[in-house]
């Protein structure tokens, strides 16, 4: 097994075992979205109108939950020192860690979204549109979060600071994610325009996230 695939397998294993964060994110997502109809009341028209926004906000918050463990866990037990010394470039190592994080927390959110669409009175097309935007947009949330996780790596209990740092940066993703979902449901903007921008944001974060995170990790361990 190559170095990077070994890291991917290890991080996925850690996430799905006892004490890992894989299920917490999707359970939190389920609870937040389930609470909304109780808070708003049984106004089906209103629910279906704001449904995509609720799903996106839920996904945004659920994604934050396990982010503080993304790099800090390796820092606490000394693994990060060895990852820094390894022959695999740090940029790729942190990118692989973020990929493992997305597979275990981001992807389950995408899979859970269609079920939650029922609670929010979304029809089949609308549910499909939201799930598609989440599939395209949640990697951006993870890779932007990766920068925050790297910046707070040297801090004990950096979770709250992480949320404050990361949430403002995810605003564009939220705007275009919800805009694309609404475009598919009510129009009048075609789905393609905001969806392409969402994909562009994701591609950009895939490049910028690991580079910035690697710089931040190197600085914080000096």
Partner 1 sequence: MMRLSSSDLGCVRGGRQVFHGLSFAVGASEALVVTGPNGVGKSSLLRLVAGLVRPAQGRLVLDGGDPELTIGEQAHYLGHQDALKPALSVRENLGFWTDFLGGAIGRAKDALAAVGLDGLAHLPATYLSAGQRRRLSLARLVAIERPIWLLDEPTSALDAAAQAMLAELMRTHLAGGGLILAATHGPIGLNGVKELRLESNR
User: Binding to partner 1 by residue 89, rule CB under 8 A?
Assistant: no
Q: Which is nearer to partner 1, 8 or 169 (CB)?
A: 8
What minimum distance in Å lies between the beta carbon of 101 and partner 1? 15
Q: Which is nearer to partner 1, 1 or 124 (CB)?
A: 1
Q: In this structure, are residues 198 and 180 in contact, taking their beta carbons and an 8 Å threshold?
A: yes
Residue keyed to tokens 């994604």: 63
Q: Which of residues 124-153 bind partner 1 (CB under 8 A)?
A: none
The single residue among 44, 115, 193, 221 that binds partner 1, judged by CB under 8 A, is 221
* Binding segment (CB under 8 A) for partner 1, from list 36-44, 79-87, 117-125, 203-211: 79-87
What minimum distance in Å lies between the beta carbon of 147 and partner 1? 21
Residues lying near partner 1 in the complex (CB under 8 A): 1-3, 5-7, 9-10, 13-14, 17-20, 76-79, 81-88, 221-222
């Amino acid at each position: 097994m190559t170095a990077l695939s070994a890291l991917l397998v290890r991080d996925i294993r850690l996430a799905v075992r006892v004490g890992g964060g894989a299920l917490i994110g999707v359970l939190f997502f389920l609870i937040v979205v389930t609470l909304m109809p109780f808070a708003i009341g049984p106004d089906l028209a209103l629910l279906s109108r704001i449904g995509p926004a609720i799903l996106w906000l839920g996904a945004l918050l659920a994604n934050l939950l396990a982010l503080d463990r993304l790099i800090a866990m390796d820092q606490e037990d000394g693994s990060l020192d060895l990852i820094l010394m390894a022959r695999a470039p740090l940029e790729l190592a942190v990118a692989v860690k973020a990929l493992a994080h997305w597979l275990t927390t981001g992807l389950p959110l995408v899979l859970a979204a269609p079920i939650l669409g029922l609670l929010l009175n979304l029809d089949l097309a609308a549910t499909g549109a939201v799930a598609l935007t989440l599939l395209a947009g949640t990697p951006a949330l993870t890779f932007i979060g990766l920068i925050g996780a790297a910046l707070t790596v040297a801090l004990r209990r950096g979770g709250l600071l992480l949320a404050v740092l990361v949430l403002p940066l995810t605003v564009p993703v939220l705007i275009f994610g919800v805009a694309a979902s609404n475009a598919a449901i009510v129009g009048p903007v075609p789905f393609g325009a905001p969806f392409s921008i969402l994909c562009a944001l994701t591609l950009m974060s895939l490049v910028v996230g690991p580079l910035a995170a690697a710089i931040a990790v190197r600085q914080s361990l000096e």
